[in-house]
A and B are shown apart, each in its own frame.
Chain A
């Protein structure tokens, strides 16, 4: 199962970069590297796309094209959201 994870943020936020790295590691450990399509989006470069997702605050996370988090979640919440995607 391939999962598209998009982080919509304004580049330059040091604390966000560290938290994003942690979330990416969670996704890879849960789904496997080949199944994670991870994209970091500069909100100012893709503003229309961010708006189409419904992003109003940053950093936001969309999973498979759905806005799932309007701020970076704790790793356990992120893991839970990914587990819910898995086929039963």
Chain B
């Protein structure tokens, strides 16, 4: 059995994070000491590593709860998990495209301005943003 401090150190997360995972029903201590301190077993350690790896792949805690439920559901199959992973990839790809569009828009703004000491009233970037706001309002 591990104390919360030991688990936090081994897993590389804070004790607050572990308490938050518990509040979100992602992990739970195997038992508590007479004084009420949480004690975790190896299964909890495995879950915490699972959560961390899933987060690195972009899954939210809500997604992870679903993955953990699928992991334990009798009727679930690999295809269900794969579908979740594909849907996550679709969302990430959408975000990437949106970020690329923002990056291109910034390129255009940066190209429009050569910098220098001109007063901000003459700044092409601010003017372009002002114009696009006016166009959007029309």
Inter-chain contact total with CB atoms closer than 8 Å: 31
Q: Is B106 an interface residue (CB 8 A)?
A: no
Contact between B82 and A47, CB atoms less than 8 A apart: no
Bin the interface of chain B by size: 10 to 19
Q: Which residues of chain B are within 8 angstroms of A12 by Cβ–Cβ distance?
A: 79, 82
Q: Mark B67-104, 1 if CB is under 8 A from A, else 0.
A: 00000000000010011001101110110010000000
Question: Which chain B residues border A58 with CB–CB below 8 Å?
Answer: 83, 86-87
The docked-state distance in angstroms from the alpha carbon of A44 to that of B91 is 13
* Extra A-B contacts (14), CB below 8 Å, given A10-B79, A50-B90, A56-B91: A10-B86, A12-B79, A13-B79, A13-B83, A43-B86, A43-B90, A44-B86, A51-B94, A51-B97, A55-B90, A57-B87, A57-B90, A58-B86, A58-B87
